[in-house]
A and B are shown apart, each in its own frame.
Chain A
Amino acid sequence: MIVRRPLPVAVMTAVTVGFLALALVPLLWIVLLSLKTQLQSFDRTQVFIFLPTLDNYRRLLADGTFLHYLLNSVVVAIGTVVVSLAVGAPAAYVVSRSRWREFRSAALAYSLFVRIVPPTVFIIPYFLGARLLGVNDTWWVLIVAYANLNIPLVMWSLWSFFNDVPRELDEAARIDGAGHWQIFLRVILPVAAPGLTATAILTFIMAWNEFLLALVLTSREARTLPVAIVGFLAYEGADWGLVSSGAVLVMAPIVAFTVLIRRYLVQGLVGGALKG
């Protein structure tokens, strides 16, 4: 194989590494900020070399409300994953195995449509609906709202993972007398397990990160971490010690998950759109 490079490798490496550094500096900055005392954060002689302290984290966790919001975030994200997969996965199986073209393109249009609708459009009906049912500021209302936004993504992503499962496997099971549920549970899901895991993690990330609906639909009891962090910011003279350490704690699990699913990220995000 002939590989010709347009520019010397050294130049290209330098450019790429430069971009990477640029991309990571703001991230590094907030991590450093979270490990500094307030005095240190304003001291230009202690930018990179300083005595790190966990004081900010201690302050953040000592309060107890942060742990409460952490619990909310975990429960809501896991609940969203369970509901979205339970609804989206069987449907994605039917769509991926269907020979009815109009049905497939309707399913596609639906999963894209919900993506096009700005989530802001849902805030008024959801807010009023939740109030009517008396479920404002509970885990349930967030789980249901997030599931609605994530089911199309789940379908979109699983659809392409299920398409990758050879149909010969279905047919073999079918000859052995298996019905659709058995094929789905015993054949498709185990074979597509990595894709299923990646989709679950992607859904977790979406729910964990969501801000707007959490802002509108929760107040004190069910508040999630992103809303809590903005709360530290809201007052005049934001407490950057709390903001930065909170931000670091919120992004930590996301960083870990991203490393885990990096191989499946592309397919999970755009599904069949790129594979044709």
Chain B
Amino acid sequence: MGRLTRDRLSQIAMVAPLGAALLLLTILPLVFAVAVSFTDLRLNRLARWNWAGFDQYLRLASDERWWTSVGHGLVYIVVPTALQMVIGLVLALLLHAGIRAVGVLRPLFILPMVLPPVVVGVLWKAFLLPDLGGLDYFMSLFGLRAPGFLETAEGAMGALIVTLTWEWTPFVMLLLLAGLESLPQDVFDAAHIDGAKSWQVLRYVTLPMLMPTILVVLLFRIIESTKVFPVIFTITGGGPGNATENMDFYAYLTGFRYFDLAYSAALLVAILLMMAVICAPLYRALVRPQLQT
């Protein structure tokens, strides 16, 4: 056997397990989920099911609770992401300006994003509770009482937004800081020699040069911002009522609490399509040009 053939064969052997995993664990399950969405399968009577055509999708179109959950989902994509980007950028710029005392503490800064999301939810719930919560204690020092975060729809939504911002700002900060550190120093020196003021350097040199990094980080945050299930589950459970549930959460409840697997599958397919529509243009515009190496 020639060396070229042997090389080719070993390369194939190295990629084969990945191909098998892709086929059996990603593609096949997705096809299966799509198939389930065209049936009337229920969790409490798995043995008896019929094809149902587009029934589940027709239901979806007129399901008010679904569209409400889509609205909430969009809030979780837009609001926390915007806050994370702004605060993360400010922190990255501050850290980059060389605060040595803080540099040592960097690992502490990034903790929120690596903690188990369930723990993130639990610790914010504990912090926001009226009786043993920390927020109420700190506010009581000023003679105030903490608002009942978890009782009203707006409060519960606010609690989730605060939590998600806290959880993911470190990610933005860390990546933008890495981006800042990789910018060439001489451009800044030149700008200063030309007499540019600090804010001018920031506006006309730093931010434009950092923009590609900012956009990639933004894409990552948008992609990940649908994965808020554990935080919703622990802090509000989707409530009060269904005031804080997003598409994922509603799909989970539909399938595993109301046993309506077929409708749940239809919802999940819709979520997937929605994410593809949001992410595909971003991916094409932002990430691919950077990867042509």
Contacts and interface: CB of A to CB of B under 8 A. Distances in A.
Nearest to B289: A276
Interface size class of B (residues with CB under 8 A): 35 or more
12 contacts: A1-B185, A4-B198, A6-B202, A25-B138, A26-B127, A29-B126, A117-B275, A155-B18, A211-B118, A226-B116, A250-B118, A258-B110
Contact of B248 (A120, A148, A258, A269): A120
Interface string B107-130: 111111011111100111111000
B18 A151 contact: yes
Chain A to chain B: the 6 pairs with minimum beta-carbon distance, closest first: A125-B29, A6-B198, A90-B14, A148-B25, A209-B116, A91-B18
A128 B32 contact: yes
A105 interface: yes
Contact of A233 (B7, B122, B138, B171): B122
Contact of A148 (B11, B21, B32, B178): B21
A108 interface: yes
A174 to B, nearest CB: 9
Interface of B: 6-7, 10-11, 13-15, 17-18, 21-22, 25-26, 28-30, 32-33, 36, 46, 87, 91, 94-95, 97-99, 101-102, 105-112, 114-119, 122-127, 131-134, 137-138, 140, 166, 169-171, 174-175, 178-179, 185, 189, 192-193, 198-199, 201-202, 213, 216-217, 220, 223-224, 226-227, 229-230, 233-234, 248, 251-252, 255-256, 261, 264-265, 268-269, 271-272, 275-276, 279, 283, 287-288, 290-291, 293
Contact of B116 (A110, A131, A211): A211
A116 B227 contact: no
Contacts of A90: 13-15, 17
Query: Chain A at the B interface: mostly helix, strand, loop or mixed?
Result: helix
Contacts of A212: 229-230, 252
A208 B116 CA distance: 7
Interface string A244-273: 100100110011011100100110011011
Interface string A103-133: 0010010101011111111111110110100
Interface string A86-103: 111011011000000000
Interface string A1-44: 11111100100110111011001111101100100000001101
A157 B22 CA distance: 18
A266 B234 contact: no
A121 to B, nearest CB: 5
B98 A3 contact: yes
A26 B124 contact: yes
Dominant secondary structure of chain B at its interface with chain A: helix
Contacts of B261: 124, 128
A116 B127 contact: no
Contacts of A266: 174-175, 178
A52 to B, nearest CB: 16
Interface of A: 1-6, 9, 12-13, 15-17, 19-20, 23-27, 29-30, 33, 41-42, 44, 47, 86-88, 90-91, 93-94, 105, 108, 110, 112, 114-126, 128-129, 131, 144-145, 147-148, 151, 155, 179-181, 184, 205, 208-209, 211-212, 215-216, 225-226, 229-230, 233, 240, 243-244, 247, 250-251, 254-255, 257-259, 262, 265-266, 269-270, 272-274, 276
B221 to A, nearest CB: 11
B108 A24 contact: yes
Contacts of B290: 273, 276
B15 to A, nearest CB: 5
A201 B224 CA distance: 20
A259 to B, nearest CB: 5
Contacts of A247: 118-119, 122-123
Contacts of A233: 122, 125, 234
Given A16-B95, A121-B271, A251-B115, A47 B137 contact: yes
A4 B18 contact: no
Contacts of A180: 7, 10-11, 14
A257 B115 CA distance: 11
A212 B268 CA distance: 14
A124 B10 contact: no
Contacts of B216: 270, 273-274
A5 B198 contact: yes
Contacts of A86: 17
A225 to B, nearest CB: 8
Nearest to A120: B248
